Amino acid sequence: NAGVMQNPRHLVRRRGQEARLRCSPMKGHSHVYWYRQLPEEGLKFMVYLQKENIIDESGMPKERFSAEFPKEGPSILRIQQVVRGDSAAYFCASSPPSTANYGYTFGSGTRLTVV
Partner 1 sequence: AQSVTQLDSQVPVFEEAPVELRCNYSSSVSVYLFWYVQYPNQGLQLLLKYLSGSTLVKGINGFEAEFNKSQTSFHLRKPSVHISDTAEYFCAVSTGTASKLTFGTGTRLQVTL
Pick the binder of partner 1 from 19, 60, 107, 112 (CB under 8 A). 107
Q: Does 78 bind partner 1 (CB under 8 A)?
A: no
Closer Cβ to partner 1, 76 or 89, answer by number: 89
Q: Does 76 bind partner 1 (CB under 8 A)?
A: no
Q: Does 33 bind partner 1 (CB under 8 A)?
A: yes
Rounded CA-CA distance 110/88 in Å is 8
Contact window for partner 1 (CB under 8 A) among 12-20, 60-68, 76-84, 105-113: 105-113
Which residues sit at the interface with partner 1, rule CB under 8 A?
Answer: 4, 6, 31, 33, 35, 41-45, 48, 55-56, 58-59, 91, 95, 100-103, 105-109, 111
